[in-house]
Structure 1
Amino acid sequence: MDLRVLSDKTLLNQYLAGDRNAISHLIERHRRRVRDYIYMLVKDRDAADDIFQETFIKAVRVIDEGRYVDSGKFLSWILRIAHNQVIDYFRARKQNRQVNESEAGYDMLAAMRLAEGSVEDAMVSEQTEREVRALVEMLPAEQREVVLMRYFGGLSFKEIAEQTDVSINTALGRMRYALINMRRMVREKKMALC
C-alpha cells in the first residue's frame, strides 16, 4: 500500500488501530512545513529542532489520550501546536533574560531597528519597543494573536486565517481593531512613541 496517497485521517485511524508506523509517516509528511514554520519564528536551528520534537510529542500525547477531534485540518492543528510551543519558548527565554526584543526580531509596527546611531537613539528605540510590546500584551487574545503572527511571525493574512481557523476578512478585521485599540491606549496614556 502506498502511504503517500493515504489521507491524514486514514493514517490517524491506522495509528489508533495499532499501526505505530502510521504516525511516523504522518510526521514525515508534514516535517518540512512544520520545521520551516518553527525556524522562521525562532531563527535558531537547534531551538527549532527541539520545538519540532516537542510539537509532535505533544500532538501524539493528545491523540493517544483521545482528545484530538479530526476536522480534516491536521496540518493546521499541528501548526497551531507549533505556534504555541514557540510562544512558550520565547516566554521561557524572556524569563531567563536571555533575549531582548530586538534579538527576537520583535519589530512591532515598524519600530525603528537598532541601526548605527547614538546611544540615545538606541535607548529611545528600546524604550519604544518595550512600550509597544506592553500595548500588544494588553490587547484581547484574538487581536494579540494576529498582531504577533503578522509582525513577530511574519505570516501573511492568508496564513494567519488558516492557522486561526477564520476568514481572511476576520484576520484583517482583528488586525484593524488591534491597531485602533493600540492607538486609543497611546492617546489615553499620553505616550509619545517615536
Structure 2
Amino acid sequence: MSEKPPSPLATELVAALYVQHSEELRCFLVGLLRDSQLAADVLQATFVKMVQRGGETQEESRKAWLFRVAYHEAMAIRRRDAVGDRIVKRIAESDSNGRSMPDDLLVRHEAVERVRQALELLPPDQRQVVRMRIYDEKTFAVIADELNIPLGTALGRMRSALIKLRARLGNTFDDESHLNGT
C-alpha cells in the first residue's frame, strides 16, 4: 500500500510561521551570505519550500526545518558564486584566442572585479538569468521554466544583459560568446 502524500500546510499557518521566524531567519542568512538582497531571496525560497513541502514537517520541528532549508539554500548560492568566480577569473585570464595571458595578477584581478561589478549593476531580473545561465549552466528552456516566464523573455533578458555588460566593460571582451557560454 502506498502512502498518501502529506497535505500542504494551510496558507494561514505558513503566514504565521513567516511572521514568527522570518526576522530571525533573515539575520541568520545575512550572517551567512553577507548580502541582504541574497538573504531576502533565500528567505523567500525557504518559505516557498515550506509551502511546497511543509506538510511533511512535524509541528514541533518546523523552526529547525526552516533553518536547515535556509542553510542549504544559502550554501547552494555560495557554491554557485564560487563557480561563477572561477568562470569570471577564467574569462579574465584568457584572450580571444583562448591562450593564457602573461599579464600580472593585478591586471587579472582588476578585470575580474570589473566583470563582477558590471554584473551587479544589471537589473535583478537580467542578473538572475545571467547567473542561472553562466553560473548554474542551465539552458534557456530550463531558466524560463524555473522562472515561470516565456522562453523569449528569458532570451530577451540575456540579450539585454549582454548589451549592458558590453557597454559597461568596453573592450574587455572581443565577442559576447565569453559571456553567454557558447
Give me the TM-score of the superposition, normalised by structure 1.
0.46
Give me the TM-score of the superposition, normalised by structure 2.
0.49
- Larger helix proportion, structure 1 or 2? 2
